[in-house]
Structure 1
Amino acid sequence: MLKAIVFFVLLTTVNGDLGDILKGVKKNKDLEYVLVDLLNDIVRHNDLTCMAIICDSIYLNVFEGALFAKTFTIPYIIIVVAEHEDLLSPNFYTLESLRQARKDGCSAYVIILANGLQAARLLRFGDRKIFDIQNKPWFDLSTVPYPNPVKEFLITRRIDVWRSGKFHYNRHIFADKTKNLNGEILDVVYLDHVPSVVVKKTNDSRTVGGVEIEILNTIALKMNFKPKLYQPLNAEQNKWGQKQPNGSFSGLLGEMVTGKADIAVGNLQYTPYYQELTDLSIPYTSQCWTFLTPEAMTDNSWKTLILPFKLYMWIAVLLVLLVTGSIFHGLAKYYMRLVDYRKENEKYKDTDLQTNKGYSGN
C-alpha cells in the first residue's frame, strides 16, 4: 500500500528573507524532532524497502546527518525541487528522480515544501502520471502537534484523503486562521515610551495611548481580538529587559520569551538581538541615526586637492597644461588665418569675374 506523509508549511516573512526562519528551525530542532518521530513510526509499523523525501532548498538543511542517525536504518532518496518549479509539470531531473524512486520500490513519500500550492500540484501530478492508475493510489493527509513536543506517543490527526484527483472530505486545508480570531483575548505587554506608547495618569485611572496603541487597536478591529494591556514587573527599572545571570530575561523581552505575552509594544527596533528572541512585525516607520564629533583643530581640508599628487607630479601636470594649451592656441590662430585667407581669395575671384564680364560687354 502506498503512503505519503505530506507537510504543508506556509512561511510568511518580511522582504522574503528566509535566513531567520532557517536559523530558528536549526537552532530549536523542533521540526527535526517531529520528523524523527514520524519516520520511526512509519518504519516501525510498515515493511518498507526505502523512503523518498521530496523537499525544497528551504527545508533541505533539516535533513542532516543528525536526523538520520536518530532514525531506523533504511535507504532514503532525497529529491530537491526548485522553489520556482511547477510540479504539475516537473522538469526532466525531478521526473526521472520520481520514476527512479518508484522503480526502487519506495512505498513511503515524505513531502515537505514551503509552498502549499506547489505541494498540491505535485500530488495532482503524481495522481495522474507517476503511479499506476489501476492501483487507485490514495494519499492520507495528516498533521502533527507542531511545534508542541511529542511526549510519549505520536498521534497524528487526519485532515483529508486525496484519491482519484479530489479530496474525500473536501475540507479547506489552507484556511487563513489570522483573519478572524473570534474575539480571543490576547495579552499585550507595553512599555511607556513616547510617542510609541503614552501613559496618562489621572487620579486612580490610567489611559494608554500612542502610535503603536492606535495601530494595535486597528489590528484588533480587523482581526477580531481583544487586547489586554499590562506592564511587566519593575518596568521603570528593567525597561526592555536583558538577559539575567540565570539565563532568563527581564522586562519587556522577558514577557515575550516566556510566552506570557502574545504581543509587545514599546518602540522595538529591528536589531539582530531582538530578532533572535521574538518575531517582529513589518516596520511602520524608519529613522536615520548619526553621531557628532568635535571639529579637528588641525583641519587640512583645503589641501585635499593637492595631497594626492607629489611636487614632481604637479610640475608635470602644469607643463602638460602649458604645452597643450600653447598647441591648441597655435592651432586656433592658424585656423582663423586660414578662414581669413579663404575669404580674401573668394573676394578676389569675384572681382576678377566682374572685370572679365565688363570687358566682354565692350
Structure 2
Amino acid sequence: MYLSFIMINIDDNIDEPDVNGTENSLIMAREHGCKMYIIFLENGQLVKKLLKFGDKYRLFDTNSKYIILYDHVLFQKDTFYIWKRLINVIFIKKYESKNKVYLKNKSVWFEITTVPYPMNAEGILVPRRLDIWTNNKFRKDPDFFKDKTLNLKNETLKVVTFAHIPGTVKTNNSLDQRIRALFQSKTNQFYSGTEVEILKTVSQYMNFHCNVYEAENADIELWGNQMFDNNYTGLLGEMLNRKADIALGDLYYVPFVLYIMDLTIPYNTECLTFLTPESLTDISWKTLILPFSPLMWALVVLCLLISSSIFHYLAKFHLYIHRAESDKGKRTEKHEQESKIFKKQLFNNLSLCSQIKKVDPNTKYALLREQYIEIKDKDGLYQFSELTNSLLYTYSMLLLVSLPKLPIGWSLRVLTGWYWLYCLLVVVTYRASMTAILSRPMPRVAIDTLEELIDSKLTYGGWGEINRHFFESSPDEMIRRIGDNFETVDNDELAMDKVIRGKFAFYENTYFLKEAVVKRQLKFQKNSSKYTDHNNTSDIRSLIQTDRNLHIMKDCIINMPVSLGLQKNSPLRFRMDKLIRRVVEGGLVQKWLDDVMQKILRDKVEPKPDAKALMSFRKFYGAVVVLVIGYVVGIFVLIGEIFHHRYLKTSETKC
C-alpha cells in the first residue's frame, strides 16, 4: 500500500515559518484530501502561529486527524477557539523518570491527551488523557479519534438570529415545554420558522440545547454591515467575533457570507426579486392599439404599404396601355364620344379663365390630355393612379369602406377581391379582441423583468450591504447596473411607503415580500375603517388616491441557496449536513415552509373582479386621443393648404 505525504521542514530557531511555502503546501494537502496532519515542532509559539494562520485562511480540514507535540503554550486562552474547531487532535507528551531499582536505566513513557469537546472553558483548559504509551504498548488501546459530534452531552450552544421570514419568526410565550427546553432565551421573545424547526430537529439528534439571542440593533442591522476597522455589525459581527456558534437568518450562499462563517448545505432555494408598484402610468389611452401586439401592428402596416404600392403600379400599367393606344390613333367610337363629352365638360369648367383661347395649340393639347386623365380619375376609373390616392383607398378598404367605383382592369379587380377578404379577417379579429379588452377590468402596468425595472424611473434597494455587494460583484451586466444605484435600507416600513408612493422597488425574497404585501393590505383596511367610522369622506378619498397595488416581479433576479450558519471551520458542519440532508429528503422543510406561509396566505386580500363589463369614460380614452390627434393633424393640413393656394399657386398662374 502506497501513501502520499507532504513534508515541511521548519527550523525551531526561527520565529516565523515560510508563509508562502507553508501556505502552498497546506493548500496542496487539502486539495488532495489529506486525512492526517502530524506536527512535530517543539516550539509551541511557532505551532500556535501556524494553527492560527491555517484557521484564518481555512488551510486545515476540520474532519482530518492531527498529531501534535504537547506544549502548555497551546492551551492558553487565545487558542481556545482553535480547539473548538480542531477537535480530532491528540497531543503527545514525553515523560522521563529514574528507575528506583536500576539507577542506571531511565523509564521513558508518553502521555496521549486530547481536548475535551464540547468544551466550556472559561479561564483554563485541561486536556483529557486518553492513554499512556510505555514499554512499546498502550495501556488501554482506546479509539483516539472518536467522533465527538455524535453526542454533545446537553451542551448549550449560542444561536444568534433576527426575525426574517421564512427562516425565523418572532412568536409569543405560548410555546410548549419541549420547545422551551430546547430553545432558551434571555428575553421573553421566542422564535419559530423553517430554520428554527430544522435546528430543533438537529439538536435532538446531536443532543444539545440552544441559547437564542439577537445582536445589538438587530431590527436595523439584520445581517450587518462592514465597519472601518474590518469588523462587522449585526449577525455577521457576532459570528466574526466568535460570540455565537450558530447563526439563523436566511443566510445566502454568497462569498460575502462565506468569508466570515461556514454554511451548511442549502436546505432551500429562495427566489430573490423586487417588489414594485403597479399602475405607474395610465395606459387607457392605448385602448385602440391594445388588441394587437406590436409585431401584429407592424405586419398590418407592412401589408398596407405593400398592397397600396401594388394597386398603384397596376393602375399605372393600365394608364400606360391606354395612352399608348391613344397616341397611335386607335380610338374607337366610344372613345370619340367620351372625347366629345370631355371637351364639353372641359370648356364648361374653363369658363372662369377667359385667357384659354390665347394658349398655343401644343400647350392646349397637353392640357387637354391631363384634364382627360383627371376627369376619368374623378369618375372612379383609375382611383389608384396616384400614390396618395392609392394609399388612401387601400386604407379605407381596411376599414371596410367600399370604393366609389370598381376600378377598370381585371388585374385590379381580382386583387381588390382578395384584399377585401384579408381586410375582413383583420377587422373581425380586431373587433373580437377589442370587445374582450373593454369587457374586462382595466389592465395594470406591472414591472416583471430587469429591463423594465432599469427603464423605469424607480430607484431600487434592499436590506444591508450583503445585497448591495451581490449586485456590484455580479458578472451579469444588467445586475451590475442595478448595483451602481442600489440603496441600502434599514427600515422596511419606510421602504414600503416609498414603494406605495411609486418611487421605489424593494429587493427581498418572495416570502418576505408576500408578508409585506399582506401587512400593507391589513394596514390599509384598518385606516380605511377608521376613517369610515369618523365619516370623513375627504380622508377616505385621499387615502384611496394614494393607494397603489403592489406587484412582485415574476422574473427572479436569482434563485439563491439558503443555509444555516456555523463558526468558521466548525467541526459540526459534517454532522449537521448529514442530518439536514435527511430532513430535506423527507419533505419536512417544505412542510414547515407551508406552515409559516399559511397564516400570511390566509390573511391575503385578493382583488375583487368586476361583476359587470361596464363601459366607462376611462376606457374610452383611446377614442378621444385618436380624435384629438385627427383634429390636430387636420388643422395643420388646412394651414398648409391655405399657405399653398395663397402664396404658391397664385404666383404660378393667375386667372
- TM bucket normalised to smaller: 0.3 to 0.5
Higher share in helix:
2
Greater relative contact order (Cα 8 A, min sep 6): structure 1 or 2?
A: 2
TM-score norm. by structure 2 comes to 0.24
TM-score norm. by structure 1 comes to 0.41
Say which one has the larger Rg.
2
